[in-house]
Amino acid sequence: MTTAFRTKLNKLYNKLLKMAGIVENTIQLSVEGLRTLNPSIAEKVIKDDDIVDNLEHELEVECLSLLATQQPLAKDLRLVGATLKVITDLERIADHAVDISETTLSLQDQKLIKPLIDIPRMAEHAVQMLHEAVSALIDEDLELARKVIDDDDFLDDLNTQIFHELLIIMMSEPRTIGQSMQLLMVSMYLERIGDHATNVAEWVYYIVEGKKPKK
């Protein structure tokens, strides 16, 4: 890796970390907005999505510039290619935070059918997974990447638990079906966020070893 390539890569990673930090915050805010049915928080998440979209575009341009001007080979080429994929995963995570916030806006005039406990737990775990996945990418840390991949099972289990709990509520109180279905979708959005964090972790394996890990 040349000095020029390393300098440009460090600049790229700094902006990637900025984007990841904003995305982590949007996950937390979107679920806090839902938990409190606060439309102001939901509207902020939706508005801030433009920041994420702009960073995605800037990072894509910088990645393509690296490919064109530095002409990286082997591992360096995998690194830039994987970063392009990670940028897309981050943008899609932010989109799911927007989806959750739109749910908040649709429910703001209602009372929640139950206090939200497991959905905030899912959000907290998803944020941790994303943070660790990006750290693993920057440090090329396969052990941390494997931890993220394994931790996705916890989100899957919580998603299943929420489904069963809401199903029981819907069966006992049919009037709750509409809101229950929306909360189920929120749980699914968070489960998908975990999948995107797992994708980021899998790209670490691709960078270091040239192939994705076995499940």
pLDDT tens for residues 182-213?
999 999 999 999 999 999 999 999 999 998 88
Residue 69 lies in a domain: yes
The model's pLDDT over 138-185, given as tens digits with 9 standing for 90+, comes to 999 999 999 999 999 999 999 999 999 999 999 999 999 999 999 999
Q: Number of structural domains, the chain? A: 1
Residue 53 lies in a domain: yes
CATH of the domain at 137: 1.20.58.220
Q: Is pLDDT above 90 for 133? A: yes
Output the six-digit token pair for 71. 């002409």
Residue 93 lies in a domain: yes
Residue 215 lies in a domain: no
- pLDDT bucket at 1, cuts 50 / 70 / 90: low
3-state secondary structure the chain: CCHHHHHHHHHHHHHHHHHHHHHHHHHHHHHHHHHHCCHHHHHHHHHHHHHHHHHHHHHHHHHHHHHHHHCCCHHHHHHHHHHHHHHHHHHHHHHHHHHHHHHHHHHCCCCCCCCCCHHHHHHHHHHHHHHHHHHHHHHCCHHHHHHHHHHHHHHHHHHHHHHHHHHHHHHHCHHHHHHHHHHHHHHHHHHHHHHHHHHHHHHHHHHHHCCCCCC
Give the range of the structural domain holding residue 103, as residue numbers without chain letter. 3-209
Cα 111 from Cα 156, distance rounded (Å): 27
Cα 166 from Cα 173, distance rounded (Å): 10
Cα 33 from Cα 39, distance rounded (Å): 7
Residue 169 lies in a domain: yes
Residue 214 lies in a domain: no
Residue 135 lies in a domain: yes
Residue 164 lies in a domain: yes
10-22 burial string, b = 16+ CB within 10 Å, else e? eebbeebeebbeb
Output the six-digit token pair for 142. 């396969």
CA angle 24, 20, 108 (to 5 degrees): 30
The model's pLDDT over 67-121, given as tens digits with 9 standing for 90+, comes to 998 888 888 999 999 999 999 999 999 999 999 999 999 999 999 999 999 999 9
Output the six-digit token pair for 209. 């070893």
Output the six-digit token pair for 83. 């970063």
- pLDDT reported for residue 73: 85
| Spatial CA neighbour of 47 closest among 66, 69, 30 | 30
